[in-house]
Amino acid sequence: MVYTVVVAWLVLAAIVVLSWTRLDAERGWRGTVLALTLGLSLLHQLLFATVTEDALVSFRYAQNIADGNGPVFNPGERVEGYTNFFWLVLIALPRAAFGADVHTAAVVFGVVSALGCVLLAYFLVNRIVAAATPAGTEPRAALGVAAAVLTASAGGLAVYGPSGSEVPLFVLIVLAVGYSLAARRPVVAGVLVAFAVMTSPEGLVVAVLAGLWLAGAAAKKQHSWWAPAGYLLGALVFLIPRLAWRMTFYQHYLPAPLAAKLGAGFDATVGTGWPYLSGFALAHQGFLLLGLVAAVALLLRRGSAGEARALIWLLFATALALAAAAVLIGGDPGPSWRLLAPVPPLLAVASVATYGVLTADVEARPSPKSWPVATRLVPVTACGLAGIAVLVSVFSPEMLDRVRDWRANGTQLAEIGGWLGEYLPPGSVVSGAAPGALAEHGGQLLIIDVLGRTDDHIAREGRHEDGVSTDYDYVVNGRRPTVAVPGDGGYADRQHCAIDPVYAGQYQVATFRRVGTPYWVAVYPRAEQAKSVVADLDKGPDFRYVPCPS
């Protein structure tokens, strides 16, 4: 698959560079190249094709919504263990209406959203450039193709496209907000930022910046004051009922995952957030350099087209603010910098649009024969940076290799959850650090997240450290799980007979060999139930109990 993606990029780059002048003039050829760009995006996504732990948690919530249990992780426990309400509703609808599989619906919606980001990057660039182009000048629609190619190569978007998570939808909404502002549709922008806030907490950053941009435009008389008013009304008509319902149903304004993450304090979150941002910057130097050059050029070269310039600055500001927000909340433990997935597409759109705006007043453009270097500058730069981004996807340790490890661990934990769900009595309580994976095939198990993301007490009252919250005394003596699953790494390559000290005394170690493999799994049954639990689990044909040496 790696070679397929690289070859697809080479073919697309050759076509874009060689046919650049045709892309402006021939709509059919432009459509063909856009279709090839979508093909590259799809192949880039299939290179990863891994459902994330966060997505599996969302699937459990969505399935409970569709099945009539309400937005809960464990039936009867009202805990807001998610931050993507709009995404939950979206992926629950096919199951509620047609009985469709939540997992499949989420992956399809994610892939389609990522492809939509590629198309919207094309349309947004051309909309901004058209606003700055003098009357009577031919549009340069090929610039949108350059932005689409860059967006298709963005690694974070490709990783999370088929992940089942809300990330590609959030990126799509962010770009759609920019397009609605460029189209002078402030009410639509308000509705979209409401959806952004309900899809990801970082949507609040987008909402504030877009509102300030509209207020500034109204102050400069580029819009009437009805524009920011309509924007505000469009957002509040959705956000106020959502907040009221949240407080009524969950009795909290802050979701458990955010409470667990932010409870450690400012210094701790920033201390983990800076390395997160620096790792992203190291892997995305091409996008960052492109954005820096474009921003400096936009700053130094004055000109007309004030609204188009202002919109480009909004895109740059949004990318910067999202990066700052990622630092302030302490980053994210997942691979490929999930919180920063919108940044490369935003920089791609803003940078290509900058070139278009700064050159929009050049009425007589030289022919390719008299100035071939300048004519090919945009496609060569865009395709070159896209190639670098694809290589980063393949060779960065935070990208393909880590996603593959993540996939293996998630698959193994899902097998463990299915085994526990089939052979433990219905309603048994199981604790673990990967509740989504354990619940995927866990049936009627009640899953306790020892890191507090789906448990209010642990999230709000536990010990906060490294972006998570823990309270093992509450888990062991309060929730009293039948079985504890230590760690979140799946199988081990050898038998582990030592028990985690937080469970010592009230739990025992039971080790099982995964039949037909060299792998082992250790679980901790509660001491007074250990004999019956081990006997039940040993009935499974795929796991064989092997006592620890005396």
Q: What is the pLDDT of residues 343-364, one digit of tens each?
A: 999 999 999 999 999 887 664 3
Tell me the longest C-alpha to C-alpha distance in the chain. Answer: 88
Which residue shows structure tokens 């190639």? 387
State both tokens at 274.
Answer: 């800076």
The whole-angstrom separation of Cα 381 and Cα 222 is 33
Which residue shows structure tokens 């319902």? 245
Model confidence over 368-426: pLDDT tens digits? 444 444 567 889 999 999 999 999 999 988 889 999 998 999 999 999 999 999 999 98
Conformational region of residue 546, where left means phi above 0, alpha means psi within -120 to 50, and beta covers everything else: beta
Q: Evaluate if residue 231 carries a pLDDT over 70.
A: yes
Contact of 529 with 507, CB cutoff 8 Å: no
Q: Average the pLDDT over 300-323 and give the result.
A: 90
What's residue 294's pLDDT? 94
What's residue 109's pLDDT? 97
State both tokens at 320.
Answer: 């910067």
Helix-strand-coil percent breakdown of the chain, rounded to 5? Answer: 65, 5, 30
Helical pair 167-182 and 343-358, crossing angle rounded to 10 deg: 20
What's residue 202's pLDDT? 95
Q: Is 429 helix (H, G, I), strand (E, B) or coil?
A: strand
State both tokens at 255.
Answer: 């979701």
Pairwise pLDDT comparison (24 vs 412), residue with the higher score: 412
Model confidence over 43-62: pLDDT tens digits? 999 999 999 999 999 999 99
Q: How far is CA 49 from CA 9, 45, 165, 269, 311, in A?
A: 18, 6, 12, 30, 34
Phi, psi (5° rounding) for residue 510? -130, 120
**3-class DSSP string for 225-288:** CHHHHHHHHHHHHHHHHHHHHHHHHHCCCCCHHHHHHHCCCHHHHHHHHHHHHHHHHHHCHHHH
Stretch (H or E) spanning 545: strand 543-545
What's residue 361's pLDDT? 67
Phi, psi (5° rounding) for residue 91? -80, -15
Contact of 408 with 416, CB cutoff 8 Å: no
pTM here? 0.94
Q: Average the pLDDT over 183-210 and give the result.
A: 96
Query: Of 214, 264, 241, nearest to 464 (Cα)?
Result: 264
Q: Average the pLDDT over 230-255 and give the result.
A: 94
What's residue 346's pLDDT? 97
Pairwise pLDDT comparison (512 vs 131), residue with the higher score: 512
Q: Evaluate if residue 198 carries a pLDDT over 70.
A: yes
Q: Average the pLDDT over 236-241 and give the result.
A: 96
Phi, psi (5° rounding) for residue 402? -70, -35
450: number of CA atoms within 13 Å, CB side?
Answer: 22
Query: Of 439, 464, 76, 495, nearest to 256 (Cα)?
Result: 464
